[in-house]
Amino acid sequence: MGSELKVPTMAALFAAGQQPEVLFWVGCAGSFDDRAKKITKAFIKILNKANVTFAVLGTEESCTGDPAKRAGNEFLFQMQAVTNIEVMNAYEVKKVVTACPHCF
């Protein structure tokens, strides 16, 4: 009854020589929490309806480090930030959107 949502990954688009307008950063909650998954799906529908080309990192997406920073672990936060920056730079990401209030 439900329709499949097509969600391209940055790796697939990059391999095809394509660059989306935005990277959709799903976030931990949007990936794992059942209630937040509904928001993720709704946000994808909005992007599609607005004809915004987007992609996700999929398995390459890592935590932004917000929980580590809030817990006072600045070192871990910085490590996660560097990792995320490296991944986004590799894909030449120019714009990031997220539906998560704790990501970015």
CA distance 90 to 39: 28
Which residues are within 8 A (CB) of 18 and not within 5 positions of it... i.e. 6 or more apart?
A: none
Residues 50-87 pLDDT 10s: 999 999 999 999 999 999 999 999 999 999 999 999 99
Is this prediction's pTM over 0.75? yes
Is residue 56 in some structural domain? yes
Give the structural domain span for 81. Answer: 10-98
Q: Could you write out the DSSP letters of every residue in 6-46?
A: P--BHHHHHHTT---SEEEE-HHHHHH-HHHHHHHHHHHHH
Is residue 2 in some structural domain? no
Is residue 103 in some structural domain? no
Is residue 3 in some structural domain? no
**Considering its fold, how many domains does the chain have in total?**
1
Average pLDDT of the segment spanning 29-36? 87
What is the three-class DSSP state of 96? strand
Amino acid identity at 65: G
